[in-house]
Structure 1
Amino acid sequence: MTIVILSRGKCGITKGISTYLISMATADLLVIVFSVILTTLGFKYFPVSFLFYTTVCSFNIIMGYAAIDCSVWLTIAFTIDRFVAICCHNLKARYCSARTAASVVTIVWSVSILRNIPFYYKYQSLGTWGGVPWGCGIRPEFFILPGWLVFFWIHHLLNPLIPYLLILLFNALTVRHIVLANRARKGLRAPSNRDQRGDAEMVNRRKSIILLFVVSGSFILLWMTKVSVFLLMEITNAHLFRSYDHPVMIADISGTMLFYLSSCTNTALYALTQSKFREELQRALKYPFTLTSECIPTSK
């Protein structure tokens, strides 16, 4: 629904921002499809199906990893775009455009898919079913060979450690710029007008950053548990636990649930921050009832 509403172009936002938001919503949808529905729920409720073929489940895992990467790095790309628009006025005209947004989105999707292709070779079949390789088991050498260990660390550096730090950095720089700009603007205004609430420039600036802080802030909060548990496991060199009741294991599972939840919150975030999006969402929800009432003949 979010993709359809944003694609209609009636939410009062530029084409560049729409491109980022539509791409982020698409990536989030693919995370749910490949990482939750086809992989987790599919294996649990349909244990004997084509989803368990080694080729199919390996492909689903690759696409799940790629979709998560896209969701994360598109959030960063959107954060950088808003940082440039707010803080770098010399680059704003050239960088903050629909063409640049489309190029960035294409690069992010391409690199994310290519980067996760090695995961296809991480898994091996657990046996054969009807002469076809069946199941996806992690190869033992994945935890031993230096090449796989390097790939494992590069993977976690690119997602989520570096993205997490980048989002914190660019949001901190944006907040600093806004605070300094607001102080300078208040100083330049006439003393008689400083207490007035009719500063249109500051009002527009405030509205332009609400969506940025809500999207990136949601990402930071929902990924915080997963990042913290990963750092704890690496520092203590503890990766295996005997029971799911272990506090670290509970935190790890909760962190996974939370970062999957980050793929389901965009519609609510847009509705909370964008009045025109709320209007379009209400119109979309009312449309089936409106269409039904129009099809029912009225009696005279």
Structure 2
Amino acid sequence: MGEYSDASAVGFNKTAVMTVIRQLTAGQRQTLLEESGVSSLEELESLLRQHTMRVENYEQPYMQYAEFRMSKFLLLYVPPILIIIGTFGNMFAFLVLRRRSMIKVSTYFYLACLAVADLFVLYVGLLRMWIGELTGMDLQNQAMWLCKLTVILGYIASDTAVWIIMAVTVERFIVVCYPFKANQMCNVLRAKKVILGLVLLMFAINLHFLWTVESVEEMIDGRNVVYCRAVEPYSALVNEAWPWVDACIYSFLPFVFIIMLNIMIINQVVKAHNSRERMQGVSERQKLDGRRQSTEGTKLTIMLLTVSFSFLITTLPMNVSLIVTTFWNQMLHDPHKVAKFTLVKSITELLMYVNHSMNFFLYCATGKKFRQQIMRLLCQRESRTTWLSMTDNSPKAKQGIQNNKDDGILCFSKSEVTCV
């Protein structure tokens, strides 16, 4: 979902504030005291001390509930794990998917772009959230440009990542259900145009955040609060209408279309499998070649279906949470219900970020070609060293070495090189 947060309290150093105040001229201090409604610096310092205590004790009413404490625990310890796993996975996936033997296939180009988008989501959204939980300071609220930049980048990255999954699912639908049009419609050049179009579209949709949100400091319940919020006359758009627009773009529409397309893809794969089993009057060699080609396509289809279904599973709880809380606002008046709501929201939000962290492991689990490319990438250096150590006249070298043109290196056959 989007990375916009309506408000976040920010602490300050009371001693530093008083030091700055004492450096003012007598006239400036008097003006400050009059505007603050106090008669002396001692009274102002007392108010600042009380304010600091209120900020520090803001969460105390909820800490008595186990649900709230569990939420704080999850938000403190789960994000760094997801960030480390997601950073490694997405960067390694990008390196593998950019290899020459992979990047020629438009599907792998989409997945390489998805890895980049997922990294942006993790660093703009999850990392910022974790730093805020760790320090009590939301980076989004530290400057006007940070407010606007984090909001718009967060929305663009998350929306683009989801719609790349949509594009991959549509492409797989074309390949499976309309194979004769696949060569024309599914190629790297078209994939590049689709990615560019998606980025520009998401930028245009979320461009309004450049002028509809800003960083504002206000006095709320006796506390100075700095937060990134909607400005008038756009507060209704940003706070009430846009969460639903974003939910449709990020989840509702992709959810429906991905389910429909996946059902049709699975149905067509089953039909094609049954049709091959009933083939008559075809030579065994032709059957074997057909099965081999079908198996390769089926494995890629299974990998992509796994990616799309994992998206559905990890984002569905967030959708349900949004709908339930929208129609059950009375829960916010009961501290225990607030604690329960906070726990549910934290779990569903972290589950959403799991979706942006785990694709590499899904590729490894379901993609045979992806695993082969990882092995070649890891064994590339060892293979080169071993090959250079052998003489040109060695019978073993003549029989065991084959030229891998896709990767541009010389590798031993499986009988000669073992990588684990």
Give yes or no for TM over 0.5: yes
Distance 1:161 1:237, change over 3 A: farther
Per-residue deviation, residues 62-107 of structure 1 (Å, max 9, x unmatched): 2111110011111001100111111112431221011110011001
Distance in 2 separating the partners of 1:106 and 1:272: 29
Distance in 1 separating the partners of 2:151 and 2:238: 20
The correspondence of residues 166-177 of structure 1 with structure 2, limited to 5 A, is 166-177=257-268
Letter in 2 for 1:187: R
**2:307 touches 2:362 (CA, 8 Å); kept in 1?**
yes
Letter in 2 for 1:278: R
1:227 is matched with which residue?
A: 319
Match of 2:208 among 118, 125, 133: 118
Displacement of 1:147 after TM fit? 7.7
Number of equivalenced pairs: 281
Match of 1:95 among 181, 185, 190: 185
Match of 1:75 among 161, 165, 173: 165
Distance in 2 separating the partners of 1:48 and 1:14: 42
Distance in 1 separating the partners of 2:376 and 2:368: 12
3-state SS of the aligned residue for 1:188? coil
1:43 is matched with which residue?
A: 132
**2:139 touches 2:146 (CA, 8 Å); kept in 1?**
no
The correspondence of residues 253-268 of structure 1 with structure 2, limited to 5 A, is 253-268=346-361
Per-residue deviation, residues 177-219 of structure 1 (Å, max 9, x unmatched): 12222223323347998xx998334423421311111111111
Tell me, yes or no, if structure 1 residue 163 matches structure 2 residue 254: yes
The correspondence of residues 1-300 of structure 1 with structure 2, limited to 5 A, is 1-11=92-102, 14-37=104-127, 39-45=128-134, 47=137, 52-120=142-210, 121-126=212-217, 135-139=226-230, 145=236, 149-189=240-280, 199-236=291-328, 240=332, 242-243=335-336, 246-282=339-375
Displacement of 1:250 after TM fit? 2.3
Most deviating of 42-51 and 154-163: 42-51
Per-residue deviation, residues 36-84 of structure 1 (Å, max 9, x unmatched): 22x2134345639797212213311221111100111110011001111
Distance in 1 separating the partners of 2:122 and 2:163: 17
Distance 1:191 1:240, change over 3 A: farther
Distance in 1 separating the partners of 2:138 and 2:262: 47
Question: How many percent identity over aligned positions?
Answer: 20
Distance 1:271 1:103, change over 3 A: same
Letter in 2 for 1:41: W
Distance 1:190 1:233, change over 3 A: farther
Distance in 2 separating the partners of 1:286 and 1:202: 28
Distance in 2 separating the partners of 1:77 and 1:185: 28
Distance 1:143 1:152, change over 3 A: farther
Structure 1 unaligned spans of 5+? 128-133, 295-300
3-state SS of the aligned residue for 1:264? coil
Distance in 2 separating the partners of 1:27 and 1:215: 15
**2:125 touches 2:154 (CA, 8 Å); kept in 1?**
yes
Normalised by the length of structure 1, the TM-score is: 0.79
Question: What root-mean-square deviation, in Å, do the aligned CA atoms of Structure 1 and Structure 2 show?
Answer: 3.4
